[in-house]
Structure formats: structure tokens, C-alpha cells
Amino acid sequence: CAMAGWSCLVTGAGGFLGQRIVRLLVEEKELQEIRALDKVFRPELREEFSELQSQSKLTLLEGDILDEQFMKRACQGISAVIHAASVIDVFNVIPRETIMNVNLKGTQILLEACAQASVPIFIYTSTIEVAGPNSYREVIQNASEDQPLETTWSAAYPYSKKLAEKAVLAANGWALKNGGTLYTCALRPMYIYGEGSPFLYGFIDHALKNNGILPHNSKFSIVNPVYVGNVAWAHILALRALRDPEKAANIQGQFYYIADDTPHQSYDHLNYTLSKEWGFCLDSRMSLPVLPKYWLGFLLEIVSFLLSPIYRYQPPFNRHTVTLLNSVFTFSYKKAQQDLGYQPLFSWEKAKQKTMEWIGSLVERHKEASRTKTR
């Protein structure tokens, strides 16, 4: 039987993906309460969410995922958790301890809180990075869930996400305090783009300060990026499927690759495609071939390590980022289609249009700021 009147907690609800999940949840008919949890909500988002709150089922919770008492209270009386909160750090800017704490310890605290509060469903937002790529020489195309791919990097982000995902999937079948059982699954989205993307924002911001020239550092990569609206939709479908006793049996303890119909391409090409209408172009200067760049990255890591007792040197790239940006690494979403009934909600055309409009608004804002400066 479908639970009449159920409730859902979303962590990381103020983030790029989390806020999309919340907006879709608001439209779920039988959902009585959504608790949107984040460390802090930006004022403009708080305003938008307060308009949704007038539909009386959205509660904003501000607090730290590492605060056990706070997390226990957040889970009280909840029927499902979507755990989308994490510290994303591809360029090793954030201290390792912070990343391990939030991504791994935070997930463990939340799982414990669910067991205590008898929350039966737990959906974890993982990442493609838990699968790799481990070497830019290795070609992985249209891979599926039954291929044993696992990252070998010790960089804090992929490592913490890998361990957290393992913890979530291992918790499937846990006994809950009320005698029920915890059912878990994990979603591994590809690189996520779309309006509000922090990465895309960084590239565009860089280009705006640089005569419209986009950084050109991943021309050898082939990836299948995924639009944020489609990733949010996959979470809703996973939630519906885990609540359906007939579907749930196949999904419990499983992970799913989430992609869509965005063409396979390099990160550079994606940035260019989404922004060329506004006059951006790729840097045409010669760039280092991958092999020397990889070993240079290794040297920079050694320098950073040797300086670490006295100075925190931040290399512009390392072996991990060179690999990430130059690998052929694409995945099929067939299993999500079969088990979750997942079909992308947004076509590539629609996703491209929405993202381009957002980039246009950033360009306008930049022009406006420049005009104000010159006055």
C-alpha cells in the first residue's frame, strides 16, 4: 500500500541540485511535508522557498550535518531521506579533513539518525567520480553498472564519496528502531551542467575577465554530461520506486548511473556550445600534450607536499585533474530506465536553451557592472 501522507527530508537543499529536487517534490501529490536542510540558505533562495512554503508543506532547516542532535531532530517523523549534501572539490582547494567530515562522517551520522528515527528509505546522491576515471589511457564507453569500476584516487572528493556510497549501500537491510527495515540506493550522475552550475559559473566568470576566452584544458575528454533537471527527476523516480513494494525489491542496495541525451563531448566543447552565442570562444593557444602535463602535475604535487609544513601551495592542476579532464569516460542509463522508469524530463535542446539563457544573464550582469564602474 502507498503510505498516505508521507514526508521527505532533503539535505543540501540549498545547493545547485538540491533546490531542483525540492521544487519537484513540492509537486508530489501525497507528500505532506518536505524538510529542506542546509547549512545556510542564500537570501534569494530563502525568498523563493518561502513562496513554496505558502503551500504549507515546506520547512527550512538550517544547521550542520555533523551535529548529531540536530540531525536526529531533522529525521523525526520522516518517511524518506534524499541525501544530496556534499562538499564538491575537484581542484583540491578545500582542506581534506573538511571534505572527509562532511561527505563521509555526515553520511554516517545521517544513516544512524535514520535508524534511530525509523526512516525506511534513504537515497544517496553519489557521483560518477566513485567509478573513476583512473587513467586517461583507458577508454570506457557506454559502461554499465555491472562493470566493476572503482576509483583508485586518494583525492579527498572521490575517496570520500566512494566510502560514503559504500556505507549507504551496506546500510540497506538495517533494522530500524520500530522493527522496520531501511532500504537504500545510490544515484551516480555524470558531470552535471545547467543554470546555476558552480563549475559553469567559474568558467564563464574566467572568460568574462579574459576577453571572452574560455579555458581550454580538456580537449581529449569524451564524457556524457547530464542536465541538472534530469538528475533531480531521477531522484524523484528513485523515491517513487522505493515506495512501491513491487519495484522496490530490484532497487534496494543498488546504484544507478544517471545520464541523459546530451551529446557525448569534451568538457571544453560543452562550455563552448553553451556560451558561443554570447561571443565566447575557446583559447586557441597551443596546450601541453597530456603525458607531459600529467608528469608536470605529479611534480607540482611533490612541491606542494614538500612545502606543506610551512606553506599551503595550491597547484593549478595535479595528476587527478589531468586524468579527469582528458579521459574517455561515458555511461549508459539503461538500468535506471529499466528499474526506475527513468526517462529524461528535458531534451538536450531544452537543457541547452535554458543554460544558454542563464549564461546570457551572467553576461548582462557583467556588462551592467562594467558600466557602473566606468560611470
Q: How far apart are CA 80 and CA 70, in angstroms?
A: 17
Cβ-Cβ contacts under 8 Å for 365 (sequence gap 6 or more): none
Between the two ends of the chain, the Cα-to-Cα distance in Å is 65
Cβ-Cβ contacts under 8 Å for 74 (sequence gap 6 or more): 9, 35, 37, 61, 63, 113
Q: How far apart are CA 182 and CA 259, in angstroms?
A: 27
Q: How far apart are CA 307 and CA 302, in angstroms?
A: 9
| Environment class of 72 (CB within 10 Å of its CB; exposed 0-12, middle 13-18, buried 19+) | middle
Instruction: Establish whether 157 is a catalytic residue.
Output: yes
Grid cell, residue 177, equals: 528502531
Structural contact between residues 185 and 124, judged by C-beta atoms closer than 8 angstroms: yes
User: What are the C-alpha distances in Å from 140 to residues 46, 205, 336?
Assistant: 41, 31, 19
Preceding omega of 133 cis (within 30 degrees of 0): yes
Q: How far apart are CA 316 and CA 288, in angstroms?
A: 14
Could you tell me if residue 95 is left (phi over 0), alpha (psi between -120 and 50 degrees) or otherwise beta?
Answer: beta
Give the SS3 label for residue 256. Answer: strand
Selected catalytic residue, list 157, 159, 191, 227: 157
Grid cell 538528475 is found at: 231
Structural contact between residues 19 and 42, judged by C-beta atoms closer than 8 angstroms: no
Structural contact between residues 121 and 239, judged by C-beta atoms closer than 8 angstroms: yes
Using alpha carbons, select from 60, 59, 170 the residue that is nearest to residue 107.
Answer: 170
Q: What is the DSSP string of 72-87?
A: HHHHTT-SEEEE----
**Catalytic residue IDs:** 157
